Structure 1
């Protein structure tokens, strides 16, 4: 009987040894619970989207037993305020836990690979979306822009006085009626000098090729310097035939801190649901390419009114912008008058014309 008792004691000891000898011996899984952020000094988030660093986001991690976990991604997936991953299986290792999971619906499939340890959560996100915009679109150099503007009563609203290069009024006015005649031809010529193409990627990224040349000491622009924007500076999501664009707010914040003063809360409210870009696709023929017209309408511009009023207070009186080769308008004046003009607007759209790149 004594031998049986000793055998049972030994068996229990061995079982106890193996049960308590997990890779993360002594770790309380609940100690890993919390909100992880890029800028945190406590729970640090190392987030990559399409193998590129992604800043300005948070991820909440929660586990009750170290076996399964729930993760809530805040604003990580384009077009989703939050993405909840439930019943994620955890695999213990020396430092903490690893996990791999997938989340999919009718419009996208997303793979997640990550790990969590004391004070740090690592997460790699790879997404694949389905929409009609995927591909590279070249700016139509022959017809880069389009614009319409109609007020409620059909009457014109003054935007600014026409001035010469010295800023003196010429007795003419820029209004909601004649802006298309005055400004659009010049804008059509200028735009191709600064924007070459836009690519809507399968992972939800928007990549643009733009001219990054700067003005020299004499005020003239330096030689063209075409660059491609980085991953995760802007994302998009197509919903109900509207392309919502989501600029990377973290990058915008950084630019504000170094370049000026803007109401950050106001900008957050503006961008939280994305910039709604309406679009029209036209199928090409044997002689023409597929075409894309992407535009903003009056609903979006009216949301900008508080922002325009604020920005107008930051502009100096002598800032002039060209309307054509020899005439200018005061940026201060147009920013002052624009809110009233928008309030009286019935319909408006300002858009860009693209053609598909033929492979």
Structure 2
């Protein structure tokens, strides 16, 4: 009886391995070999990814197949505003001579973007080329500048005609008594943003594939000068002369991406490794890009308190003004920024025939209300609860 039982075990084992061999021995790779996450963080990276012709580092994709014939490819935080973009029913084509599977096709994402993909996959790595067209490309894609910094004088009053900022604040019913506070916020935001946007940027381009580029200033950014100009009421000619003295250059591609995710919903996705690398380069520091990508991934997955400590140590090397300011934020606001770094910056968008407004809305601004209140020496947290709309952002006009 004991021998019979042993024989049955052997028979089962033989049947198991034979059935597997019959199922997969004609495949180049078994499903389990290529069903995995491929990434481009720390070397040796397993993902060679290009996005509309631009090499993209610091990303992951997941692939899963049950039969090594068809599979599902999931893009993780690659399409702006989409945490996961699954592409199913991908047909695998075997290239036995070269030892890999190929695949290609076109997919419409849940957010409406059109993704043309082409790739090569082995157990060790994946090469993936994506050509993306955003859902709202026809209405958004363009190069934009700012409306002119323009004012007229009516007696002792200076009337703003146009500028780079967009500020729209309204109250709920019964909030009419807040008008003095609203006017104060509007004036402060308008004065500062009308100066700072053209001070640091000459133009912004939203490409059809979601890539954002800009002509940014290479001149020193002096916040004291910005505040002085914002509060001094310079004439239009004086302001134009100030801006004309500044120098600008085109940003590299791959630092930021855009997507319109709804009727009035807009998101800007930052490529943190690329931005950190550019900051380091501009400060004369050479840091391996893959190392930055790996560190960025680890930091973005860490808790905000630990990230804040790490950024403080990194900034001792970079000595960057923006990072210094970020480190001064309270913990809740810093946690909000961390979420934006991972998932994209949520914004609103509204367009007219001549203007495109991209802005932070009330929900997005709430973590920063205390900062705005401190500038006005007013407790705005209770006041903001009575706001119906609070939209603060940028006014863009198509470049002619």
TM-score range, shorter chain: 0.5 to 0.7
1:303-355: CA deviation from partner (whole Å, max 9, x where unpaired): x34xx76xx6xxxxxxxxxxxxxxxxx99656995545544533222232222
Could you say which residue in structure 1 is the equivalent of 2:251? 229
| Equivalent-residue separation in structure 2 for 1:32 and 1:133 (angstroms) | 38
Which has a greater percent of helix?
2
Could you say which residue in structure 1 is the equivalent of 2:232? none
Unaligned runs of 5+ in 1: 1-18, 159-174, 283-289, 313-329
* Contact in 2 for aligned 1:150/1:177 (Cα 8 Å): no
**TM-aligned CA deviation for residue 145 of structure 1:** 1.6
Could you tell me the TM-score, scaled by structure 2's length? 0.61
* Contact in 2 for aligned 1:103/1:111 (Cα 8 Å): yes
1:196 is aligned to 2:202: yes
Equivalent residue in structure 2 for 1:238, among 245, 249, 260 = 260
Equivalent residue in structure 2 for 1:100, among 87, 91, 104 = 104
Tell me the SS of whatever aligns to 1:279. strand
* Contact in 1 for aligned 2:70/2:92 (Cα 8 Å): yes
**TM-aligned CA deviation for residue 249 of structure 1:** 5.2
* Contact in 2 for aligned 1:55/1:250 (Cα 8 Å): no
| Equivalent-residue separation in structure 2 for 1:234 and 1:299 (angstroms) | 22
| Equivalent-residue separation in structure 1 for 2:128 and 2:376 (angstroms) | 46
Which protein has the larger Cα radius of gyration, Structure 1 or Structure 2? 1
| Equivalent-residue separation in structure 2 for 1:267 and 1:278 (angstroms) | 20
Structure 2 counterparts to residues 104-123 of structure 1, below 5 A: 104=108, 107-123=112-128
| Equivalent-residue separation in structure 2 for 1:207 and 1:291 (angstroms) | 19
Equivalent residue in structure 2 for 1:247, among 240, 260, 269 = 269
| Equivalent-residue separation in structure 1 for 2:105 and 2:42 (angstroms) | 25
Which has a greater percent of strand?
1
Equivalent residue in structure 1 for 2:167, among 123, 131, 147 = 147
Could you say which residue in structure 2 is the equivalent of 1:31? 33
Tell me the SS of whatever aligns to 2:208. coil
| Equivalent-residue separation in structure 2 for 1:125 and 1:63 (angstroms) | 20
Structure 2 counterparts to residues 1-359 of structure 1, below 5 A: 24=28, 27-39=29-41, 44-93=46-95, 94-104=98-108, 107-131=112-136, 132-142=139-149, 143=162, 144-150=164-170, 153-156=175-178, 175-182=181-188, 184-214=190-220, 224-248=246-270, 250-251=272-273, 254=276, 256=311, 257-258=314-315, 259=323, 261=327, 266-270=336-340, 272=343, 274-282=345-353, 290-302=354-366, 304-305=367-368, 337=379, 339=381, 341-358=383-400
1:119-144: CA deviation from partner (whole Å, max 9, x where unpaired): 32221110123421121121112322
| Residues 1:342 and 1:233: Cα distance change in structure 2 (over 3 Å) | farther
* Contact in 1 for aligned 2:269/2:344 (Cα 8 Å): no
| Equivalent-residue separation in structure 2 for 1:44 and 1:135 (angstroms) | 35
**TM-aligned CA deviation for residue 80 of structure 1:** 2.5
Q: What number of residue pairs does the alignment pair up?
A: 292
| Residues 1:265 and 1:179: Cα distance change in structure 2 (over 3 Å) | closer
| Equivalent-residue separation in structure 2 for 1:212 and 1:30 (angstroms) | 50
**TM-aligned CA deviation for residue 60 of structure 1:** 0.7
**TM-aligned CA deviation for residue 177 of structure 1:** 3.1
Could you tell me the TM-score, scaled by structure 1's length? 0.67
* Contact in 2 for aligned 1:136/1:198 (Cα 8 Å): yes
* Contact in 1 for aligned 2:373/2:379 (Cα 8 Å): no
* Contact in 2 for aligned 1:43/1:121 (Cα 8 Å): no
* Contact in 2 for aligned 1:293/1:354 (Cα 8 Å): yes
| Equivalent-residue separation in structure 2 for 1:209 and 1:338 (angstroms) | 35
Unaligned runs of 5+ in 2: 1-23, 150-161, 227-241, 280-310, 316-322
